[in-house]
Amino acid sequence: MSALDSRDVDLKKDDMDFKKDLDATVRARRELGEEYDSALVESFLEKVEQRIEDGVDRRVRRHLAEQRMADARGARRPRGADTWAERFGFAIVSLVLAVPLSAIGGALAGMSGIVATWVGIVGVNAAQAVRLNPELVTGRRDRSSQQD
């Protein structure tokens, strides 16, 4: 099994676990009533935050390992090392998280909560796009990326 296959399996497992947690939270809310809304939302958000932290931690460890290997080989990592799959994965995770976060924002603060949620989602995606393509902000392209 390749590294890409194992990441796909991990993403599918995380997605299934996420859906189970969301379903359990919704069922608990129905059983317990509205007086436990804030506790249930906090608990769910803690689980989401922990999943995000675990994912970031895995990516940082993988990046450091790749960097150490490249340093050991005396090679430099190419500038455009982000793959299409990584960008696509970021977009998918962003949209998957958008659904429950929009529901939570709407339930807690109405339309203003939904707007705040989507401003955050758009902001995170814009920051990612600028990180990958700095010319979006500067308006200049690297000579290495220009076509002759």
Same domain, 90 and 137: yes
The residue out of 27, 44, 77 marking a domain boundary is 77
Element (H, E) at 108: helix 84-132
The pLDDT averaged over each successive group of 10 residues in the chain (148 residues) is: 55 75 84 82 85 87 88 63 78 88 91 93 87 79 51
Distance CA 123, CA 61 (A): 25
Count: domains in the chain: 2
Domain of 60, in residue numbers = 1-77
Quick one: pLDDT at residue 1?
A: 46
Distance CA 128, CA 123 (A): 9
Same domain, 1 and 72: yes
Quick one: pLDDT at residue 62?
A: 92
The residue out of 77, 93, 115 marking a domain boundary is 77
Q: Which long-range contacts (CB under 8 A, 24 or more apart) does 66-74 make?
A: none
Same domain, 73 and 126: no
Quick one: pLDDT at residue 148?
A: 41
Which tokens in the block code for residue 74?
């005396």
The residue out of 77, 97, 118 marking a domain boundary is 77
Quick one: pLDDT at residue 5?
A: 52
